[in-house]
Structure 1
Amino acid sequence: MFLSTVRGAAVLLGIAAFAVSCDANPASAPAADVSASSAASPSSQGATSKTPTAPGNGPAPSALPTEKVRDAFAGLQATLNDSCTPGNCAYFLGRVYDELHRMDRAMKADPKGPGHFPEPISLIAKLDTELDGDHAFDNLKKHQPLLIDTRDKINLWMQGHPDDYR
Protein backbone atom coordinates (compact mmCIF):
# COMPACT_ATOMS: atom_id res chain seq x y z
CA MET A 1 0.00 0.00 0.00
CA PHE A 2 2.84 2.38 0.83
CA LEU A 3 4.49 1.86 -2.55
CA SER A 4 1.25 2.43 -4.44
CA THR A 5 0.69 5.62 -2.42
CA VAL A 6 4.22 6.79 -3.22
CA ARG A 7 3.76 5.95 -6.91
CA GLY A 8 0.43 7.80 -6.97
CA ALA A 9 1.98 10.83 -5.31
CA ALA A 10 4.84 10.78 -7.81
CA VAL A 11 2.39 10.75 -10.72
CA LEU A 12 0.45 13.66 -9.22
CA LEU A 13 3.65 15.65 -8.65
CA GLY A 14 4.69 15.03 -12.25
CA ILE A 15 1.33 16.22 -13.53
CA ALA A 16 1.45 19.30 -11.31
CA ALA A 17 4.98 20.16 -12.47
CA PHE A 18 3.91 19.77 -16.08
CA ALA A 19 0.89 22.00 -15.55
CA VAL A 20 3.01 24.69 -13.87
CA SER A 21 5.56 24.61 -16.69
CA CYS A 22 2.79 24.94 -19.27
CA ASP A 23 1.27 27.91 -17.44
CA ALA A 24 4.66 29.63 -17.39
CA ASN A 25 5.07 29.26 -21.16
CA PRO A 26 2.51 31.36 -23.11
CA ALA A 27 3.20 29.41 -26.29
CA SER A 28 2.11 26.18 -24.65
CA ALA A 29 -1.37 24.71 -24.54
CA PRO A 30 -3.88 26.41 -22.22
CA ALA A 31 -4.12 25.05 -18.68
CA ALA A 32 -7.57 23.59 -19.42
CA ASP A 33 -6.08 21.46 -22.18
CA VAL A 34 -3.31 20.25 -19.85
CA SER A 35 -5.77 19.16 -17.18
CA ALA A 36 -7.89 17.39 -19.77
CA SER A 37 -4.89 15.48 -21.08
CA SER A 38 -3.69 14.62 -17.58
CA ALA A 39 -7.14 13.35 -16.65
CA ALA A 40 -6.61 10.23 -18.72
CA SER A 41 -8.02 7.01 -17.39
CA PRO A 42 -5.99 5.36 -14.62
CA SER A 43 -5.22 2.41 -16.87
CA SER A 44 -3.41 4.74 -19.29
CA GLN A 45 -1.12 5.93 -16.49
CA GLY A 46 1.26 3.04 -15.84
CA ALA A 47 1.90 3.77 -12.16
CA THR A 48 -1.76 3.55 -11.22
CA SER A 49 -2.74 0.63 -13.42
CA LYS A 50 -3.99 -2.50 -11.70
CA THR A 51 -2.94 -4.62 -14.67
CA PRO A 52 0.56 -6.00 -14.19
CA THR A 53 2.94 -5.41 -17.05
CA ALA A 54 3.86 -8.66 -18.70
CA PRO A 55 7.56 -9.09 -19.33
CA GLY A 56 8.38 -8.01 -22.85
CA ASN A 57 5.67 -5.35 -22.92
CA GLY A 58 7.56 -2.70 -20.97
CA PRO A 59 11.10 -1.42 -21.03
CA ALA A 60 13.84 -4.00 -21.29
CA PRO A 61 15.08 -5.13 -17.84
CA SER A 62 18.45 -3.54 -18.55
CA ALA A 63 16.68 -0.21 -19.16
CA LEU A 64 15.05 -0.30 -15.72
CA PRO A 65 16.84 1.49 -12.89
CA THR A 66 18.60 -0.77 -10.40
CA GLU A 67 16.38 -1.25 -7.41
CA LYS A 68 17.42 -2.03 -3.87
CA VAL A 69 16.54 -5.47 -2.53
CA ARG A 70 14.73 -3.92 0.44
CA ASP A 71 12.40 -1.98 -1.87
CA ALA A 72 11.68 -5.02 -4.02
CA PHE A 73 11.09 -7.09 -0.87
CA ALA A 74 8.60 -4.52 0.39
CA GLY A 75 6.65 -4.96 -2.85
CA LEU A 76 6.68 -8.74 -2.45
CA GLN A 77 5.56 -8.47 1.18
CA ALA A 78 2.67 -6.26 0.11
CA THR A 79 1.17 -9.33 -1.58
CA LEU A 80 1.12 -11.41 1.61
CA ASN A 81 -2.32 -10.29 2.77
CA ASP A 82 -3.91 -10.58 -0.68
CA SER A 83 -5.41 -13.67 -2.22
CA CYS A 84 -6.92 -14.98 -5.39
CA THR A 85 -10.54 -13.84 -5.17
CA PRO A 86 -12.96 -14.10 -8.13
CA GLY A 87 -12.72 -10.42 -9.09
CA ASN A 88 -9.02 -10.06 -8.24
CA CYS A 89 -7.32 -13.34 -9.16
CA ALA A 90 -5.69 -12.32 -12.44
CA TYR A 91 -4.36 -9.11 -10.89
CA PHE A 92 -3.15 -10.90 -7.76
CA LEU A 93 -1.33 -13.73 -9.53
CA GLY A 94 0.18 -11.31 -12.05
CA ARG A 95 1.34 -9.06 -9.24
CA VAL A 96 2.97 -11.91 -7.32
CA TYR A 97 4.73 -12.97 -10.53
CA ASP A 98 5.88 -9.39 -11.19
CA GLU A 99 7.06 -8.84 -7.60
CA LEU A 100 9.04 -12.10 -7.64
CA HIS A 101 10.82 -11.00 -10.79
CA ARG A 102 11.41 -7.55 -9.37
CA MET A 103 13.11 -9.29 -6.42
CA ASP A 104 15.12 -11.45 -8.81
CA ARG A 105 16.42 -8.40 -10.72
CA ALA A 106 17.25 -6.57 -7.48
CA MET A 107 19.10 -9.53 -5.98
CA LYS A 108 21.12 -10.09 -9.15
CA ALA A 109 22.05 -6.39 -9.30
CA ASP A 110 22.85 -6.08 -5.59
CA PRO A 111 26.44 -5.07 -4.71
CA LYS A 112 26.74 -8.25 -2.61
CA GLY A 113 26.25 -10.21 -5.82
CA PRO A 114 23.75 -12.88 -6.80
CA GLY A 115 25.77 -15.44 -4.82
CA HIS A 116 24.49 -13.77 -1.66
CA PHE A 117 20.91 -14.78 -2.56
CA PRO A 118 21.27 -18.38 -3.81
CA GLU A 119 18.02 -19.80 -2.47
CA PRO A 120 15.62 -17.04 -3.60
CA ILE A 121 17.23 -16.87 -7.06
CA SER A 122 17.05 -20.66 -7.34
CA LEU A 123 13.37 -20.69 -6.30
CA ILE A 124 12.49 -18.11 -8.96
CA ALA A 125 14.46 -20.06 -11.58
CA LYS A 126 12.52 -23.21 -10.64
CA LEU A 127 9.23 -21.31 -10.98
CA ASP A 128 10.28 -19.97 -14.37
CA THR A 129 11.16 -23.48 -15.54
CA GLU A 130 7.71 -24.73 -14.53
CA LEU A 131 5.96 -21.78 -16.18
CA ASP A 132 7.98 -22.42 -19.35
CA GLY A 133 7.87 -18.76 -20.39
CA ASP A 134 4.07 -18.58 -20.21
CA HIS A 135 2.98 -15.98 -17.66
CA ALA A 136 -0.58 -15.68 -18.93
CA PHE A 137 -3.31 -15.87 -16.31
CA ASP A 138 -4.38 -19.43 -17.20
CA ASN A 139 -0.84 -20.74 -16.69
CA LEU A 140 -0.31 -18.70 -13.51
CA LYS A 141 -3.61 -20.10 -12.19
CA LYS A 142 -2.51 -23.64 -13.10
CA HIS A 143 0.75 -23.08 -11.18
CA GLN A 144 -0.78 -20.99 -8.39
CA PRO A 145 0.40 -23.29 -5.56
CA LEU A 146 4.01 -23.10 -6.81
CA LEU A 147 3.76 -19.32 -7.36
CA ILE A 148 2.48 -18.71 -3.81
CA ASP A 149 4.89 -21.25 -2.30
CA THR A 150 7.80 -19.51 -4.04
CA ARG A 151 6.68 -16.14 -2.66
CA ASP A 152 6.28 -17.56 0.86
CA LYS A 153 9.65 -19.36 0.83
CA ILE A 154 11.43 -16.19 -0.32
CA ASN A 155 9.63 -14.21 2.36
CA LEU A 156 10.85 -16.67 5.01
CA TRP A 157 14.40 -16.64 3.61
CA MET A 158 14.48 -12.84 3.66
CA GLN A 159 13.13 -12.76 7.23
CA GLY A 160 16.25 -14.75 8.17
CA HIS A 161 18.45 -12.13 6.47
CA PRO A 162 17.27 -8.80 7.92
CA ASP A 163 20.48 -7.03 6.95
CA ASP A 164 19.33 -7.32 3.33
CA TYR A 165 16.10 -5.40 3.74
CA ARG A 166 16.60 -2.91 6.56
Structure 2
Amino acid sequence: MQIRRVRRTAITTAILAACLLSCSAGTDDTSGNAGTRDTSRSLSAPAPTDAAAQETAADNPTPAASPGPELVRDAFAGLQATLNDSCTPGSGDCAYFLGRVHEELMGIDAAMKADPKGPGHFPEPLAWMADLRTTLDGDTSTENLETHRTELIGVRDRINVWMQGHRDDYL
Protein backbone atom coordinates (compact mmCIF):
# COMPACT_ATOMS: atom_id res chain seq x y z
CA MET A 1 0.00 0.00 0.00
CA GLN A 2 2.79 2.42 0.88
CA ILE A 3 4.57 1.72 -2.43
CA ARG A 4 1.40 2.58 -4.39
CA ARG A 5 1.09 5.86 -2.52
CA VAL A 6 4.73 6.74 -3.21
CA ARG A 7 4.28 5.86 -6.90
CA ARG A 8 1.15 7.99 -7.12
CA THR A 9 2.91 10.91 -5.50
CA ALA A 10 5.90 10.56 -7.83
CA ILE A 11 3.71 10.29 -10.91
CA THR A 12 1.55 13.22 -9.86
CA THR A 13 4.65 15.30 -9.21
CA ALA A 14 6.11 14.39 -12.59
CA ILE A 15 2.89 15.29 -14.41
CA LEU A 16 2.59 18.61 -12.57
CA ALA A 17 6.23 19.41 -13.33
CA ALA A 18 5.65 18.65 -17.01
CA CYS A 19 2.59 20.91 -17.04
CA LEU A 20 4.45 23.74 -15.34
CA LEU A 21 7.38 23.34 -17.69
CA SER A 22 5.16 23.40 -20.75
CA CYS A 23 3.29 26.46 -19.43
CA SER A 24 6.48 28.41 -18.90
CA ALA A 25 8.12 27.28 -22.14
CA GLY A 26 7.89 29.28 -25.31
CA THR A 27 9.11 32.65 -24.08
CA ASP A 28 12.56 32.34 -25.63
CA ASP A 29 12.40 33.32 -29.27
CA THR A 30 15.36 33.35 -31.58
CA SER A 31 13.33 34.07 -34.71
CA GLY A 32 13.25 37.81 -34.13
CA ASN A 33 9.66 37.78 -32.95
CA ALA A 34 10.46 39.04 -29.49
CA GLY A 35 7.46 39.34 -27.24
CA THR A 36 5.45 36.73 -29.07
CA ARG A 37 4.63 33.40 -27.62
CA ASP A 38 4.52 30.01 -29.28
CA THR A 39 0.97 28.87 -28.62
CA SER A 40 1.30 25.69 -30.66
CA ARG A 41 2.67 23.75 -27.71
CA SER A 42 0.21 21.64 -25.82
CA LEU A 43 -0.50 22.57 -22.23
CA SER A 44 -1.90 19.15 -21.41
CA ALA A 45 0.01 16.57 -19.44
CA PRO A 46 1.53 13.64 -21.32
CA ALA A 47 -0.52 10.47 -21.41
CA PRO A 48 0.43 8.05 -18.64
CA THR A 49 2.61 5.22 -19.87
CA ASP A 50 2.99 3.45 -16.58
CA ALA A 51 0.44 0.91 -15.35
CA ALA A 52 0.50 2.59 -11.93
CA ALA A 53 -0.45 5.92 -13.49
CA GLN A 54 -3.37 4.30 -15.29
CA GLU A 55 -4.41 2.65 -12.03
CA THR A 56 -4.25 6.04 -10.30
CA ALA A 57 -6.52 7.53 -12.96
CA ALA A 58 -8.99 4.71 -12.40
CA ASP A 59 -8.88 5.25 -8.62
CA ASN A 60 -9.37 9.02 -8.92
CA PRO A 61 -11.64 9.77 -11.87
CA THR A 62 -11.94 13.42 -12.79
CA PRO A 63 -15.53 14.59 -12.59
CA ALA A 64 -16.87 15.85 -15.88
CA ALA A 65 -17.34 19.59 -16.02
CA SER A 66 -21.02 20.29 -16.20
CA PRO A 67 -21.93 23.10 -18.55
CA GLY A 68 -24.62 25.53 -17.66
CA PRO A 69 -25.20 27.00 -14.24
CA GLU A 70 -21.47 27.10 -13.57
CA LEU A 71 -21.10 29.37 -16.56
CA VAL A 72 -23.79 31.71 -15.26
CA ARG A 73 -22.38 31.41 -11.73
CA ASP A 74 -18.87 32.24 -12.86
CA ALA A 75 -20.04 35.12 -15.04
CA PHE A 76 -22.14 36.46 -12.17
CA ALA A 77 -19.17 36.26 -9.82
CA GLY A 78 -17.16 38.38 -12.26
CA LEU A 79 -19.97 40.92 -12.45
CA GLN A 80 -20.30 41.02 -8.65
CA ALA A 81 -16.58 41.72 -8.39
CA THR A 82 -17.29 45.13 -9.93
CA LEU A 83 -19.94 46.13 -7.37
CA ASN A 84 -17.57 47.86 -4.94
CA ASP A 85 -15.56 49.58 -7.68
CA SER A 86 -16.34 52.97 -9.12
CA CYS A 87 -14.78 55.90 -10.89
CA THR A 88 -15.15 59.65 -11.00
CA PRO A 89 -16.89 60.75 -14.21
CA GLY A 90 -14.67 62.81 -16.47
CA SER A 91 -11.52 62.21 -14.42
CA GLY A 92 -9.95 59.72 -16.81
CA ASP A 93 -9.96 56.88 -14.29
CA CYS A 94 -13.12 55.32 -15.73
CA ALA A 95 -11.66 53.60 -18.80
CA TYR A 96 -10.71 50.38 -17.02
CA PHE A 97 -13.73 50.28 -14.72
CA LEU A 98 -16.39 50.91 -17.36
CA GLY A 99 -14.67 48.59 -19.82
CA ARG A 100 -14.62 45.85 -17.21
CA VAL A 101 -18.28 46.32 -16.31
CA HIS A 102 -19.19 46.14 -20.00
CA GLU A 103 -17.06 43.02 -20.46
CA GLU A 104 -18.62 41.32 -17.44
CA LEU A 105 -22.12 42.18 -18.66
CA MET A 106 -21.40 40.70 -22.08
CA GLY A 107 -19.98 37.60 -20.38
CA ILE A 108 -23.08 37.01 -18.29
CA ASP A 109 -25.24 37.70 -21.37
CA ALA A 110 -23.43 34.94 -23.28
CA ALA A 111 -23.60 32.57 -20.30
CA MET A 112 -27.33 33.08 -19.88
CA LYS A 113 -27.94 32.49 -23.58
CA ALA A 114 -25.84 29.29 -23.46
CA ASP A 115 -27.42 27.97 -20.26
CA PRO A 116 -29.22 24.62 -20.64
CA LYS A 117 -32.36 26.16 -19.15
CA GLY A 118 -32.51 28.38 -22.22
CA PRO A 119 -32.54 32.15 -22.61
CA GLY A 120 -36.24 32.17 -21.63
CA HIS A 121 -35.09 31.44 -18.08
CA PHE A 122 -33.41 34.87 -17.93
CA PRO A 123 -35.89 37.17 -19.70
CA GLU A 124 -35.35 40.39 -17.76
CA PRO A 125 -31.54 40.42 -17.65
CA LEU A 126 -31.31 39.51 -21.34
CA ALA A 127 -33.77 42.29 -22.22
CA TRP A 128 -31.79 44.82 -20.17
CA MET A 129 -28.57 43.82 -21.89
CA ALA A 130 -30.21 43.98 -25.32
CA ASP A 131 -31.35 47.52 -24.53
CA LEU A 132 -27.83 48.40 -23.40
CA ARG A 133 -26.35 47.02 -26.63
CA THR A 134 -28.82 49.16 -28.58
CA THR A 135 -27.90 52.21 -26.51
CA LEU A 136 -24.16 51.66 -27.02
CA ASP A 137 -24.73 50.96 -30.73
CA GLY A 138 -21.59 48.82 -30.95
CA ASP A 139 -19.33 51.63 -29.70
CA THR A 140 -17.39 50.40 -26.67
CA SER A 141 -14.94 53.29 -26.66
CA THR A 142 -14.21 54.84 -23.29
CA GLU A 143 -15.92 58.05 -24.40
CA ASN A 144 -19.14 56.22 -25.30
CA LEU A 145 -19.06 54.09 -22.15
CA GLU A 146 -18.60 57.26 -20.09
CA THR A 147 -21.50 58.90 -21.95
CA HIS A 148 -23.71 55.93 -21.07
CA ARG A 149 -22.19 55.29 -17.64
CA THR A 150 -25.56 55.54 -15.85
CA GLU A 151 -27.14 52.94 -18.15
CA LEU A 152 -24.14 50.62 -17.87
CA ILE A 153 -24.03 50.75 -14.07
CA GLY A 154 -27.82 50.55 -13.90
CA VAL A 155 -27.91 47.30 -15.89
CA ARG A 156 -25.15 45.86 -13.71
CA ASP A 157 -27.06 46.74 -10.54
CA ARG A 158 -30.42 45.46 -11.85
CA ILE A 159 -28.84 42.15 -12.85
CA ASN A 160 -27.25 41.86 -9.43
CA VAL A 161 -30.62 42.33 -7.72
CA TRP A 162 -32.34 39.95 -10.16
CA MET A 163 -29.73 37.25 -9.62
CA GLN A 164 -30.00 37.62 -5.85
CA GLY A 165 -33.64 36.61 -6.27
CA HIS A 166 -32.64 33.59 -8.39
CA ARG A 167 -30.02 32.00 -6.19
CA ASP A 168 -30.55 28.53 -7.72
CA ASP A 169 -28.86 29.86 -10.86
CA TYR A 170 -25.52 30.53 -9.24
CA LEU A 171 -25.12 28.40 -6.12
Alignment size in residue pairs: 118
Asked if 1:110 corresponds to 2:82, the answer is no
Q: What is the deviation of 1:117? A: 0.1
CA offset at residue 152 of structure 1? 0.1
Partner-residue secondary structure (3-state), 2:82: coil
User: Which structure's residues are more often helix, by fraction?
Assistant: 1
What does residue 57 of structure 1 align with?
none
TM-score by length of 2: 0.61
Greater radius of gyration (CA): 2
Identity %: 61
Query: What is residue 22 of structure 2 aligned with on the other side?
Result: 18
Q: Quick one: structure 1 residues 14 and 101, their matched pair in 2 at CA, closer, same or farther if it must change by over 3 Å? A: farther
* 1:136 partnered with 2:118: no
Residue type of the alignment partner of 1:131: L
After superposition, residues 68-83 of structure 1 pair within 5 angstroms as 68-83=71-86
Give the superposed CA RMSD: 3.0
SS of equivalent to 2:85: coil
* Counterparts in 2 of 1:133 and 1:14: CA distance versus 1, 3 Å: farther
Q: Residue 127 of structure 1: which of 132, 141, 148 is its match?
A: 132
For residue 105 of structure 1, report the CA deviation from its aligned partner. 0.2
Task: Tell me the residue number matched to 1:98.
Answer: 103
TM-score by length of 1: 0.62
Q: 1:15 to 1:96 in 2, by over 3 A?
A: farther
Paired residue for 1:165, among 144, 167, 170? 170
Are 1:156 and 2:161 matched, yes or no? yes
The 4+ residue runs of structure 1 with deviation greater than 6 A are: none
